[in-house]
Structure 1
Amino acid sequence: MIEIDGRQLALADIAKVAAGGMKVTLTPSAAERMAASQRSARATALMRPVYGRSTGVGANRSVTLDATGTGADTHGLNLLRSHAVDAGRSLDRETVRAMLVIRLSQLAAGASGINPAIAEALVGMLNQDALPEVREFGGIGTADLPALAGTALTLLGERPTMGGSLISGALDGWATEDALPFISSSALTVAQAVLGHQKLAVLLENLTLVSALSFTAMSGNPEAFSPEVARASDSPAVADMATTLHGLVAGTGVPARIQDPYSLRTLPQVLGAVSEELAALKLLLDQLVVAGHENPLVFGSDADGSNGVAHHGLFQMTTLARRVDALHLALGTACATNLRRIDLLCDPSFTGLHRFLAADDAGQSGVMMLEYVAAAAAGLMRANAQPASLQTVVLSLGAEEDASFASLATSRLDSTVQALTTMTAVELVCSARALRMQGREPSEFSNPRLRRTLETGFTLPAASQDRDLRPDVDVASKLVLLPALGNNIQEAGTGELG
C-alpha cells in the first residue's frame, strides 16, 4: 500500500503503482489539507473574480459566469466535456496509472481548492484498475487538459474505461468550482517523464557494466579512468563515473594501446553526462509529483483569515521540457560511442578474433547485422534528441501565446528507452561473445559486479556459427532492464536458451 500525503512521493513508488497491483490510500492529513483549500477557495470567490470558478477559461476568461442561474450548475460539466477531446493511439495502462497517482498526489498538496471527494474517487479508480482511455495527442506542455477531462468523464460514467465498462456511483456530479482545478495539471506529462527516468536509470547502470565488458574485450587502457583523471574532471558526475569504471576494469588485463579510441577513452564523460542529466531530472520530478501548480493557486488559512488565490503560469512546463531535452541530448551523444564500440568489437585488430566475431574467416557474417540493428536504434535516439522546447504555438484567440511542448519531449522517452535497451542488449551480446571466444572466465575478474555481469552474458547461447540472433537480442533486452545486471539471471528467462 502506497500512502499519498501530498508532501512526498518516491518516483520508485509511482513506478510500482504504474506496474499494477499496488494499492494507494490518502492520508488523513492530505484529506484535511484539501478540505481547507476548498474552504479557502470558496471564501475568496465570494470576494473577487476567480478564473474558472466565476469566469470562463482561455479566451473566455472575460466572460462572467452567472453564479445564481441554472447555467452555473452545468458549466463545470460543459467544461469537462468540451475539453475531453484527444486523438491518436491509446496510451498503455502503465502510463495512465502513473498519471492518476501523480494527479492524486498533486491534489493532496492542497493548492487546488477541489472537493476532497474527487480525490477519493481517484483512489477508487486506481485501486479497482478501472482506468480511463487516454490518447496521445492533446497536450502541448501547458497542462494535460484532454487527458484529465476525459478522466473526469470516466469517473462520472459518461465514458467507458479502458476495459469497456462504465463506472457508476463514484461521483454524483461535478460542480463548476471543481472542473478547472481537476484538469489544471500536467500529470500525464510528468508521468511519462517519471517512467522514462526510472527505466533509463536502470539502463545507465547496466550500460556502464556492459561498456566495461567491451573495454575488457578490447584490452582498453584504464589510465583514462585513473584517480588523477577523476580529480581533474570538470564535473562531479564525470569524476564519479571515472571512479566507477576504474573499479570495474581494474586488473582485467594488460592494455593493448597507449591511447584508446574515444568510444573507450571518453566513457566517463559520455556516461557521466547522462548520469548528470538523470540526476537533474530526478530533482525536478521529485518536486513536480507533489506540486500544487493548479491555476489559480489557492492559499490561505481559516485560522488567520488569509484566504486567497494567485493566478499564474506555473503550469507552463518549461523547466521540464528543458530537462528532458538535455537528457535526450546526452543520450544522443552516448549512443554514438555505443555504436562505435559495437563496431570495434567486430574488428579483429581490437579483439584478436575473426571479423564480426564469426566462427571462422571463411565468409561467415557472425554478428555483422547486429551493428545494423544498433544503428537503426541510434538513429531514433538522435532524432529524439531534437529539442522539443524550441517549439511554440499561439492558441485560444491569442490568449495563450506560448507552449513548452514538454508533453512532446516526455512522450519521446518511451521510444528512447526502447532504442537504448536494444543498443545495450546488442553490445552485451557482442562483448560477451568476444570474451567467451577469447577464453576469458568470470573468475578472472576481481570486481564482483563485472564478474556477475559476465556470468549473465555467458547465459546467452555459446554457438558462434551463423544463425538467427533475434532470440539472443530478445533475452539480452530483458537482461539489461533488470536492476543490477547479473543479480537476477533467471528473471529474464534465459534458461530456455541454455
Structure 2
Amino acid sequence: MNKIFNYGIDHLTVNIALDIARGKVKAVLNKTAKEKVVKSQAYVQEIVDRGDVVYGINTGFGPLCTTKISEKDTSTLQHKILQSHSVGVGEVIPKEVSKIMLITKVHALAQGFSGISLTTLERIIWHVDKDIVPTVPKQGSVGASGDLAPLSHLFLPLIGLGEVYTEDGSKAIASDVLSRLGMKSLQLGPKEGLALINGTQFILAHAVKVVEKLANALDTADVIGAMSLEGLMGSSRPFEPELHAIRPYKGSLLVASRLRNMLAGSEILASHVDCDRVQDPYSLRCMPQVHGASRNAWLHLKELVEIELNSVTDNPIILNADNAISGGNFHGQPLAIPLDYAGVAAAELGNIADRRNYMMIEGRFGLPKLLMANVGLNSGFMIPQYTSAALVTENKTLCFPASADSVPTSLGQEDHVSMGSISGRKTLQIIKNLEQIQAVELLYAAQALDFRRPLKSSPIIEATHAYVRERVSHADEDRVLAYDIKAMHDIVSSGALVKIANEVAEKEQLDLNGEFKAEFEY
C-alpha cells in the first residue's frame, strides 16, 4: 500500500473513497489538517467560555433551539443527542457502506469547520484502519437535518454503545470489542455530538456505491447489447459517427463508438450487410440513444457526488469564534434528485434489455422459437423472460422519486426534507435488479450467437462469448435455468465481462471509450 490520502486536504473521489474502504489506500491526518481541527475546536470552546448562544453548542436541538443549556451540561448534551437520535430500524446496511460513511465523515470534519476534537476524529480513523465498523440500520433517515438516525448509530461506539462489525465481518457489542482491544469510550465535548450526526454521509455512501455499480452496468449493457445484436443479425449502421455528430450527446456518442469498436471485424455483420431488412427494432438500433441517456444521468450523478465528497455538510458551521452560521448544508436534496434520476436511468437499461430478451425468443431473424431447436416437450428459454419482465416492473415501482416527497419533522422546524436516504437505497436495489435482467440477456445472447455458427463475431464478442461458455454450456434441452442465470449474474455483477472486453480491446488496439474516457471514469 503505497498511496497516501490526506483527510481534509486532498481531493476525494469515488474511486479513492472505495480504495480507502478496501484497504488499497492509506488515509491519514497530516499536520495541516490537525492544526485546522484543533483551531476549530478552540473556536467552539471560546464560544462556550464567553457564554454566546450558538445552536447545538449551548442550546437544545431542532424545535428546542431556544432552550439554553448551561456550560456544565454542554458535554452531557452531546452524549444525549447520540442516544436520543439512534432510532434507526430495519436490517443493517452492508459493512462497506458503513465504512464509506466513516471515511466521508472524517474527510468533512477534517476540513476544520465543525468544532470536532482531534481525539474524536482520530478515534473514527482508528475504526476505519482497524476495520471495526459500526452497524447502521437502513431505515429512519429523512435526509435533512442530515442523516440523523444513521449517523447516530454510526457513532454510538464512540461513547461505548451500539454494535460493530468486527475484523472478520461478524457483528458484536461495541463495548465488548473495544474492551478486547484495550480502547475506552470517549467523553464528547461541546458541539461534537451534533457535528457527528449532522450531515449527508448515509446518502453519500449509497451514492458512491451507485456510481460504482451503475458504471459497471452501463459498460455491461453495451457488451451484452452488442452480443444480442449479433445473435439477432442486426445492423451496425445506426452506430455510425456521422449520425451521432448531428445530435451530439456525450452518452450517445460514447455508446455508438463503443458498439462500433466492439463489433469491428464481425463475420456475422458482414454476412448480411446487403440484406433486405430495412431497419432494426428500437431496442437494437436505439442503443446509443437509450444506453447513452442513462450514461448522461450517471455522469451528472458522478459530478455531484464528487462535489459532496469534498463538502462540509454539518450545522452550524464554525468559521471562527465570532462567526458560527446556522445554515442548511446538511440538506440532502442536491444528491436526492440525481439519485432518483440515476434510478430511472438504471431501470431503463433493464427495460430495453428485456425487449431484446423478448425478441430473441420470438423465433424471428433466423433464430429458433424459444432459442431451442426442439420445443414442445421442451419449453426452451420461455421462462427466464418472465423473470426479467417481473424485475422490470419491480424497478418501475421503485422509480417513484423519493425526492418529490417531503413530510415535516421536528415540530415543523424541519418542514422540508429530502428523503434522499430512500433515493440512495432504492437506486441500489434497482441496480441489483438490473444485474439480474442483464444476466438473463447474457444467457439469451450467448445461446442466440451459437445459432450463427460457423460465422464468427468480432474479437471482443467472441472472447466474451467464450468466457460465458466456459461457465455455462449451450442448452439443447430443458434444465434448471436458475443455475445458469446465477452463473450469468456472477459474471455481470463481478465486472468480469467488462474486464474481458477491455482486455481484448487493448490487445486489438481499439479505444472503447475514446475522447470521453476521463469524463466517464470515477
Q: What is the TM-score with the length of structure 1 in the denominator?
A: 0.90
SS in structure 1 at match of 2:134: coil
Q: Which moved more, 1:95-104 or 1:31-40?
A: 31-40
**What is the SS of the residue equivalent to 2:497?**
coil
Tell me what 1:341 maps to: 356
Is residue 64 of structure 1 aligned with residue 68 of structure 2? yes
8 Å contact kept, 2:21–2:128: no
C-alpha distance in 2 between matches for 1:440 and 1:183: 62
Of 39, 44, 68, 1:41 maps to 44
Shift in Å at residue 414 of structure 1?
Answer: 2.4
Match of 2:149 in 1: 146
Partner of 1:464: 476
Aligned to 2:332: 317
Over the residues paired in the alignment, what is the CA RMSD in angstroms? 2.1
Change (3 A) 1:122 1:235: same
Deviation by residue 1:24-76 (Cα, 9 ceiling, x = unmatched): 43333322222222223334553742210021110001111112x4x334111
1:423-438 paired onto structure 2 within 5 Å: 423-438=437-452
- Equivalent in the alignment of 2:506: none
Residue equivalent to 1:360: 374
Deviation at 1:321, TM superposition (A): 0.9
What is the count of residue pairs matched by the alignment?
478
Q: Who is 1:52 aligned against?
A: 56
Whichever residue aligns with residue 324 of structure 2, its letter is V
Structure 2 letter corresponding to 1:461? S
Distance 1:100 1:62 in 2: 31
TM alignment of 1:259-274, pairs within 5 A: 259-274=279-294
Matched with 1:303 is none
Q: How has the CA–CA distance of structure 1 residues 55 and 432 changed in structure 2, closer, same or farther, with 3 Å as cutoff? A: same
Assess, with a 3 A threshold, how the Cα gap between structure 1 residues 482 and 170 changes in structure 2: closer, same or farther.
Answer: same
Distance in 1 (CA, whole Å) between partners of 2:383 and 2:219 is 26
Q: Which residue of 2 aligns with 1:115?
A: 117
Q: Which residue of 1 aligns with 2:85?
A: 83
Deviation at 1:195, TM superposition (A): 0.9
Tell me, which stretches of 5 or more residues in structure 2 are unaligned?
166-170, 502-522
Matches of residues 370-385 of structure 1 in structure 2 within 5 Å?
370-385=384-399
SS, match of residue 138 in structure 2: strand
Residue 101, structure 1, aligned to residue 103, structure 2: yes
Task: Tell me the residue number matched to 1:164.
Answer: 172
User: 1:194 Cα shift?
Assistant: 0.6
Tell me by how many angstroms 1:479 deviates.
1.0
Deviation at 1:437, TM superposition (A): 2.6
Cα deviation digits, residues 472-494 of structure 1 (max 9, x gap): 111111111233626469xxxxx
Question: Which of 468, 482, 494 matches 2:494?
Answer: 482
Distance 1:450 1:32 in 2: 55
TM-score by length of 2: 0.86
Distance 2:380 2:31 in 1: 62
Residue 345 of structure 1 contacts residue 356 of structure 1 at CA under 8 Å; is this kept in 2?
Answer: yes
Distance in 2 (alpha carbons) for counterparts of 1:280 and 1:187: 19
**1:308 maps to amino acid:** N
Identical columns (%): 27
1:421 aligns with 2:423: no
- Counterparts of 1:414 and 1:428 in 2: how far apart (Å)? 21
Return the letter of the residue paired with 1:66. Answer: S
Matched residue type, 1:59: P
Comparing 407-416 with 246-255, which one deviates more in the overlay?
246-255
Deviation at 1:19, TM superposition (A): 4.7
Q: Which amino acid aligns with 1:136?
A: K
* SS of 2:312 mapped into structure 1: coil
Letter in 1 for 2:129: N
* 1:495 equivalent in structure 2: none
Choose which of 270, 290, 295 in structure 1 pairs with 2:310.
Answer: 290
Aligned to 1:164, what secondary structure does the other structure show? Answer: strand
Distance (Å, rounded) in 1 between the aligned partners of 2:402 and 2:498:
36
CA contact (8 A) 1:139 1:146 kept: yes
8 Å contact 2:158–2:186 — kept in the other structure? no
Matches of 2:322 and 2:461 in 1, distance apart?
59
